Amino acid sequence: MRIAVDTGGTFTDLILEDGTGKRFVFKRPTTPDDPVRGIFDALAQAADSRGETVEVLLSQTDTFIHATTRAINAILTGTTARTAFLCTEGHPDTLLFREGGRIEIFNFTVEYPRPYVPRSLTFEVPERISHDGGIVKALDEEAAVDILLGLNDLGVEAIGVCLLFSTINPRHERRLGELIEHHLPDIPCTLSHVVNPTLREYRRASSTCIDASLKPVMSTYLRNLGHTLQATGFAGRFLVVTSRGGVRDGADVAGAPIHAVNSGPAMAPVAGRFFAAAETGADTVVVADTGGTSFDVSLVRNGRIPQTRETWLGQTYRGHMTGFPSIDVRSIGAGGGSIAWVDSGGMLHVGPQSAGAAPGPACYNAGGVRATVTDAALVTGLIDPAFFLGGHMPLDIHAARDAVERDVASPMGTGPERAALSIMEVATENMVQAIENITIHQGVDPRSAVLVAGGGAAGLNAVAIARRLGCRHVIVPTAGAALSAAGSLMAELGDDFSATLPTSSRHFDIGAVNRVLAELAARAAAFVSGPGAGTIAHETTFFAEARYGHQVWEIEVPLRGSRFDSEDDVSRFISDFHDMHEAMFAVRDSHSDVEIIHWHCRVRCRLRGDAGQDSMPTAARDNHARRVVLAGHGAIEASVADFSALATDETLEGPAIIESPFTSIVIDPGVSYFRSTHGSLVITLEAGGDDARASLAARRW
Amino acid sequence: MDGIRLATISSRMQGICQRMANTLMRTGRSGVLNTAHDFSCCILSFDDSFVAADESLPVHVLSGPDIMARHLRAFHPDLRRGDAFLNNSPYHGCSHPADHTILVPVIDDDGVHRFTVCAKAHQADIGNSRPTTYMATARDVYEEGALIFPGTRVQQDYEDVEDIIRLCELRFRVPQQWRGDYLAMIGAARIGERELLELGAEKGWDELNAFVDEWFDYSEKRMTDAIRSMPSGKVEATTRHDPFPGLPEDGLEIRVRLEIDTHAGIIDIDLTDNPDNLACGLNLTEATAIAGAMTGVFNSIDHTVPPNAGSIRRVRVHLREGCVVGIPRHPYSCSLGTSNICDRLENAVVHAIAQLGNGWGMAECGPLLPPATGVISGTDPRNGEHYVNEIFLFHTAAGASAQADGWLTLTAMGSAGLCLLDSVELDELRFPMRVYRQEIAMDTEGPGRRRGAPGAYVEFGPVDCEMSVAYASDGTLFPAEGVRGGGRAARARQIRRDRNGREHELDACAEVHLEAGEKIVSLTQPGGGYGPPHEREPARVLEDVVEGWISPDRARDTYGVVITGDGDVDHAATQELRQRLSGMLEDRPVSADEEGAR
């Protein structure tokens, strides 16, 4: 038996997969003061449903997988360790200047962000290494020790070390690490070339200081949780979800907690890949996770999940970039709680403000008075006021209608239903824009992708989004309400080893590249025989980060093998680069030199076998019909069916509303759907109008 | 007004511009493009009105693309699908010759011209007579030496016109870099074209036309509302550019007459009372004279007003032909048409607006081109290759607004902070150089209730070779001023440090030759302050001291905040000192505000 727990901002999601491969979803409120309590609340609920105690449940559990917002919360609430930053002499303001950049160019009311580590805790170490690893100035150990001894008086609790070109020659950083261990043995420290071996000093310094600052809080948290689980009968493997969409042993993450910074959303594309492959065999997927306040989009491209180093804590350019490779997940403020408003010029906006869970939409009657997407969905009949969250939370349709009337209909001079429909349309458009930005960024044509919709508010406009994007299939997994937790169960144990070795297509240094690749392969092999021992299967893939000469942004290009045996291998790789560049940017420059900067080896160890099946708690409501208002159709009668009551593999046609305790899925007229054997709702849109779009798009220059 | 159509289609248009910009940034080759974000992407209506842009350099889009599109239709009445045109002509709507602009007409299936998309990017080299795109000393466009394209067909049926490409490749230094940037611009414009064709097919062209009309009306209303919330009044502001080669010996005074009529909802800016075109590269273009004035306005109003041809209807900018801040006459050079005088113009406008009321306008910002962001060139001894590129080391420049301290990495009002900064590691890998030090310079900020950004201290030089550094560091003599009692910033400085460590003060505008082992120090221009410094919250002053932005002496003498030996604010002493300071201000015959306004 396996258990995955995702501690989110509002809810703690738990998915239990029993010995027969059946999955059950549970949801309890998150307890921010002590997240472990929320986890045990969810465990109690799961145990209850089986008529067992938590002890019995845990004693049968062989794997416990945890995704947590603990790390990101510590950063956002400023409760990380008091951290010092040691840098190369002459470069103390790397964290202050960051890489420049600004948003909202005409907005001068926003203050410049403080550096992740204040200047008063930043120390210049006399030393310098050059671009080729040469030592320009030897490390002044005496001065370094003076700095370290001074840190004691400043109450420093963690140290990040990032020296220029340490990824090319780590000698000075290593020596500083030794000195810290000797003089300050109780203070955790992170060395940049170890935690994030990449060029660009800001990104590396940022990951290094973030990692160091999280070490005390995360090791305490993970140790406590591990101990509490053990004390309650758990004797299996404790794994933590990483920002790269894999899992690692809890102790490893405590030692390098930056891996857990994006722990939560990283698993949505893993789940999306799994469900799309299981239901339709597709390997290119758009994964949309709609919660109450945020809409997260991620991708699967040809079976791979794209990563990025440009993950921001807080707003882009107004917070800190982690600089650490992480699943590329884009978030916008859009969800059930997004507030609809009309500006002084008469234009309708939906978000980015949100009523959140508290005070919530007007229809919650919990203090919120402004019209939200949930209110609009209620007014248009997409949600049944008596069956929200399985009927646990009755909604006030009158409050919703009043809010929509006051905030939107009357300023726009229209009726409440038309206004509510407009709110749904604008919300859909905002989400589509977020999706198109990431698909074009990663070179994916959404028309060739399957849309996997997860999250409580996903079903309201998943079909509308797919129609706009030109996707033919939408999958709404039953476990979609807990998409990240579901992804955790599918996750593979993994790590990513990388090295910096700049070379180019013109002067490709086969010998040096092969040496680097062999070294990476050896580290991967050690992982497979270490943490990966006993897993079902493993896969090792190599890729490079490369760019055209003079470009500064690299793209990831997979290698065809684990080494280059001939000039032909090199030519094939270069040609793969051109193809990838053209796919992503519609530009190919065959005559240009190609520069390769970083080399990676990614290892994945499979922890599980078959697909399993999602189980849905039955609600036992009879099928009926309801009046709904849909874009392009107006007011129509739609049949309303309970998800759990749908026959497996029977194809039906909209208009319909499929309801479950977690979500309400809107099926437009002419759109067909069925419930699959794995327990997902699989929706197929008619291609008609979209074929015309596709042929237009195919007519390239 | 259809609020839903406005919302959905404006969002689509914005998305298209974003995706054009993303393509341009990720595929561009030169640092000025892919790092400094010195590019823009926008959409124009069939009749050349500015509809939407990415978060682009305001001076690129608020005016210029419209003028270029107008000339395009005049020169090429036979626009066909598959065409692309190159414009960098300062006499035909381009911002300055370094900003190569690709214009692609979006032609529907019936051959009707529906929109024009525009991708503009500052090039690393444009074939000037010297290896820089900023030819401050050029007496005219001939001495400047750039190839000028007034809207020249560079693609037909989606294929390059090779004649033009060959011409460029022979003339531009590091031609493969130009070629890469050219492809990036073409790629961006074609993505915009493709998406607009799809949008037209989906919504219908009539629907898009109706949207454009409503969008302009909507934006005009938003602008009118914004202006109506401002104080009415008529004000004049002047600012003085440093004496550069080709400018008068006491510098160049720029005069702005600005009137806000809140009743009519109109802002009127008169730039005609300025000198005639000068025999140097600092003349503005028609595009940047208008866009510079507009930038000052948009920086001073409700930032959510969408910038486009509709909102701009409420701002009238009066220009004169043959004027340095106006419409340039051929063959005067506009090589620096987007930076120096343009920065001064933008600053004069925000300064003028600040004079109209507390809470409005901004303090002045420093200029764009100190050696820290200069153009370096030479031959790399590691591979024998010639290089020329603008680098982007630390640079600050931001003046304070009424609400916030200067945004540290603004790098000049005109660049709007979009400029990304170089990684030292990347620069040292790409060029034979070393960056010895870069950090903020203590006590250099224009003090104020909200203070300007401090300047940066940047020191770099060539490694094992010689290097040229071209720069144009305005603010060396006349620094950024504060407003409404805020103080002026420290001056910019540039110093050559020879191999013996001796320092040699450098001119404000020069192309400096560095020998191996020599270094150049750039003290970049900080920004001015907003409001009296002794009104700054003591907690903010204390934080600036603790963080090393200002010294305890400056906290006491300038901000009137006394800090105790154990690092706390001495509130009693501070209050007493501040009372004295504000009393002194009242005794002065000329208020700091008036002095700031000069």
Question: For A79-114, how does the pLDDT look when each residue is reduced to its tens digit (9 = 90+)?
Answer: 999 999 999 999 999 999 999 999 999 999 999 999
* Interchain CB contact of B505 with A (< 8 Å): no
A123 contact residues in B (CB cutoff 8 A) = none
CB contact under 8 A, A551 and B303: no
**Is the same domain home to B499 and B411?**
yes
Express each pLDDT in A129-150 by its tens digit: 999 999 999 999 999 999 999 9
Asked if residue B582 belongs to a domain, the reply is yes
CATH topology of domain A2-75+218-260: Nucleotidyltransferase; domain 5 (3.30.420)
Q: Do B547 and A426 touch (CB under 8 A)?
A: no
Q: Do B435 and A700 touch (CB under 8 A)?
A: no
Q: In this model, does residue A687 exceed pLDDT 80?
A: no
Question: What top-level class would CATH report for the domain A78-214?
Answer: alpha beta
What interhelical angle do A141-153 and A171-183 show, nearest 10? 40
- What pLDDT score was predicted for residue A131? 95
Instruction: Collect all residues of chain B within an 8 Å Cβ-Cβ radius of residue A131.
Output: 425, 428-429
From CA A243, how far away is CA B371, in angstroms rounded? 40
Q: In whole angstroms, what is the distance from residue A394 CA to residue A365 CA? A: 10
In which element (H, E) is residue B85 found?
strand B84-87
As given in the structure block, the two tokens for residue B531 are 């409001």
Nearest to A17 by CA among A660, A538, A484, A490: A490
Residue B560 and residue B499 share a domain: no
User: For residue B237, is it within any domain?
Assistant: no
Share of chain A above pLDDT 90, in %: 62
- Are residues B26 and B149 part of one domain? yes
Give the containing element (helix H, strand E) for A420: helix A416-441
CB distance from B123 to chain A under 8 Å?
no
Contact B19 A696 (CB under 8 A): no
Q: Read off the pLDDT of residues B112-171 as tens digits, 9 standing for 90 and up.
A: 999 999 999 999 889 999 888 889 899 999 999 999 999 999 999 999 999 999 999 999
Phi, psi for residue A14 in degrees, rounded to 5 = -130, 135
Contact B100, B120 (CB under 8 A): yes
Taking the CA atoms of A574, A578, A581 and A584 in sequence, report the sign of the dihedral they define.
Answer: negative
| B16 and B118 together in one domain | yes
Q: Which of B538, B463, B535, B478 is nearest to B508 (CA)?
A: B478
CA distance B211 to chain A (A): 12
In angstroms, the first-to-last Cα distance of chain A is: 55
In A, which residues are within 8 Å of B408 by CB distance?
96-97, 112
Q: Which residue of A has its CA nearest to B178?
A: A550
Q: What is the pLDDT of residues A264-296, one digit of tens each?
A: 788 899 999 989 988 888 989 999 998 777 889
Q: B481 and B426 in one domain? A: yes
In chain A, CATH 3.30.420.40 covers 2-75+218-260
Lowest mean pLDDT among A342-351, A641-650, B217-226: A641-650
Question: Considering its fold, how many domains does chain B have in total?
Answer: 3
Q: Is the pLDDT of residue B370 over 90?
A: yes
What CA–CA distance (Å, rounded) separates A658 from A675? 10
CA distance A548 to A544: 13
Report the pLDDT value the prediction gives residue A697, as an integer from 0 to 100.
37
**Do B124 and B45 sit in the same domain of this protein?**
yes
> Stretch A507-529: mean pLDDT, rounded?
94
Interface check B218 vs A, CB under 8 A: yes
B213 CB-near residues (< 8 Å, 6+ apart): none
Rounded Cα distance between A536 and A605, Å, is: 7
Eight-state DSSP code of residue A405:
I
B531, B552, B587 — which closes off a domain? Answer: B531
How many angstroms separate the CA atoms of A208 and A117, rounded? Answer: 11
Q: Which residues of B touch A427 (CB under 8 A)?
A: none
Q: Residue A413: exposed, middle, or buried by beta-carbon count in 10 A (0-12, 13-18, 19+)?
A: exposed
Q: Is A90 on the interface with B (CB under 8 A)?
A: yes
Q: Which residue of B has its CA nearest to A121?
A: B547
What SS3 class is residue A158?
Answer: strand
Within a domain: residue B447?
yes
CB B416 within 8 A of CB B368: no
Q: Is the pLDDT of residue B101 over 80?
A: yes
Question: Which of A97, A101, A692 faces B201 most closely, judged by CB atoms?
Answer: A692
B540-586 tens-digit pLDDT: 999 999 999 999 999 999 999 999 988 899 999 999 999 988 877 65
Per-residue pLDDT at B318:
98
For residue B44, tell me if it sits in a domain. yes
Which chain B residues are Cβ-neighbours of A92 within 8 angstroms? 439
Query: Is B419–A552 a contact, with Cβ atoms under 8 angstroms apart?
Result: no
pLDDT at B588 over 70: no
> Is the pLDDT assigned to residue A207 strictly greater than 60?
yes
| Cis bond upstream, residue A655 (ω within 30) | yes
**Does B593 have pLDDT greater than 70?**
no
Within 10 angstroms of residue B344's Cβ, the number of other Cβ atoms is 30
Cβ atoms of B440 and A96 closer than 8 Å: yes
Which of B501, B531, B561 finishes a domain?
Answer: B531
- Best A347, A444, A555 residue to mutate vs chain B (most B CBs within 10 Å): A347
CA distance A66 to A46: 16
Say if strands A122-125 and A22-29 run parallel, antiparallel, or are unpaired. Answer: unpaired
Both B576 and B482 in one domain: the answer is: no
Contact B229, B465 (CB under 8 A): no
Alpha-carbon distance B329 to nearest alpha carbon in chain A (angstroms): 31
Q: Which two tokens stand for residue B202?
A: 């989906």
Shortest distance between the Cα of A572 and any Cα of chain B, in A, equals 21
Q: Are residues B587 and B571 in the same domain?
A: yes
Q: Tell me the pLDDT tens digit for each residue of B65-88.
A: 999 999 999 999 999 999 999 999
Least confident of A27-36, B269-278, B321-330, B491-500: A27-36
pLDDT tens per residue across span B60-69: 999 999 999 9
- Nearest Cα to Cα of residue B76 among B153, B173, B20, B182: B153
Distance of CA A602 to the CA centre of its chain: 18
Stretch B484-497: mean pLDDT: 97
In a domain, B310, yes or no: no
Better-predicted residue by pLDDT, B29 or A361: A361
Q: Is the pLDDT of residue B14 over 80?
A: yes
Same domain, B94 and B132: yes
Q: Are B228 and B262 in contact (CB under 8 A)?
A: yes
Q: CB-CB: which of A96, A131, A347 is closest to B6?
A: A347
Same domain, B108 and B208: yes
pLDDT reported for residue A698: 36
ipTM associated with this complex: 0.94
Q: What pLDDT score does A616 carry? A: 62
- Per-residue pLDDT band at A301 (split at 50, 70, 90): confident
- Kindly state the DSSP code that residue A692 receives in the 8-state scheme: H
Cα–Cα distance, B319 to B309 (Å, whole number): 18
**What pLDDT does residue A484 have?**
84
Q: Which of residues 269-298 of A touch B (CB under 8 A)?
A: none
Q: What per-residue string of b and e applies to B194-227 under the rule 16 or more CB within 10 Å gives b? A: bbbbbbbbbbebeebeebbebbbbbbbbbbbbbb
B351 in A contact zone (CB under 8 Å): no
pLDDT of B591 above 60: no
Q: Considering only CB atoms, which chain A residues are within 8 Å of B177?
A: 549-550
DSSP state letters, B9-41: HHHHHHHHHHHHHHHHHHH--SHHHHTT--EEE
Phi, psi of B418 (to 5 degrees): -70, -25
- Interchain pair B409, A441: CB under 8 A: no
Instruction: Pick the residue from chain A with its C-alpha nearest to B439.
Output: A93
| Shared domain check, B107 and B7 | yes
- The overall average pLDDT reported for chain B is 93
Burial of A185 (0-12, 13-18, 19+ CB in 10 A): exposed
d(CA B529, CA B481): 7
If asked whether residues B455 and B566 sit together in one domain, one would say no
Give dist(CA A199, CA A129) in Å, integer: 13
pLDDT class of A617 with cuts at 50, 70, 90: low
pLDDT of residue A619: 58
Q: Could you tell me if B560 and B452 are in contact, meaning their C-beta atoms sit under 8 angstroms apart?
A: no
pLDDT digits (tens, 9 = 90+) for A551-590: 777 888 999 999 999 999 999 999 999 998 887 777 788 8
Chain B residue numbers with beta carbons less than 8 Å from the beta carbon of A103 are 55
- Domain range for B560: 535-597
Q: What is the CATH number of domain A492-606?
A: 3.30.1490
CA distance A291 to chain B (A): 22
- Contact of A511 with chain B, judged by CB distance below 8 Å, is answered with no
Contact A90 B438 (CB under 8 A): yes
Chain center to CA of B472:
14
CA of A421: which chain B residue's CA is closest? B4
* Arithmetic mean of pLDDT, A118-134: 97
Query: Any CB–CB contact under 8 A between A153 and chain B?
Result: no
For residue B524, give both structure tokens: 């970049």
Instruction: Choose the closest CB to A552 out of B191, B408, B426.
Output: B426
Q: Shortest CB distance from A550 goes to which of B23, B30, B417? A: B30
Predicted local confidence at residue A700, as pLDDT = 28
The predicted model scores a pTM of: 0.92
**Nearest residue in chain A measured CA to CA from B401:** A108
The phi-psi region of residue B425 (left if phi > 0; otherwise alpha if psi is between -120 and 50; otherwise beta) is alpha
Contact A110 B183 (CB under 8 A): no
With a cut of 80, say whether residue B379 has pLDDT above it: yes
Q: How confident is the model at residue B192 (pLDDT cuts 50, 70, 90)?
A: very high
**pLDDT for the residue numbered B592:** 43
Residue A520 has pLDDT above 70, yes or no: yes
**Does the beta-carbon distance from B423 to A100 stay under 8 Å?**
no
Whether the pLDDT of residue A623 is over 90: the answer is no
In angstroms, what separates the C-alpha of B507 from chain A's closest C-alpha? 25
CA distances from B339 to A482, B118, B285 (A): 52, 21, 11
Let me know if residue B568 belongs to a domain. Answer: yes
Which chain A residues in 434-473 lie under 8 Å from chain B, judged by CB atoms?
436-437, 440-441
Nearest-by-CA chain B residue for A429: B8
Cβ within 8 Å, pair B6-A348: yes
Residue in this structure with the two tokens 């306040």, named with its chain if needed: A293
Interface of B with A in 409-448 (CB under 8 A): 409-411, 416-421, 423-426, 428-429, 434-440
Q: CA-to-CA distance for A404 and A363, rounded, in angstroms?
A: 10
- The reported pLDDT for the residue numbered A389 is 74
Is A106 close to B405, i.e. CB distance below 8 A? Answer: no
Residue A534 contacts B where some CB pair is shorter than 8 Å = no
A466-492 average pLDDT score: 88
Instruction: Select the residue of B176, B202, B459 nearest A693 (Cβ to Cβ).
Output: B202
Of B4, B14, B394, the CB nearest to A348: B4
| Residue A682 contacts residue A475 (beta carbons within 8 Å) | yes
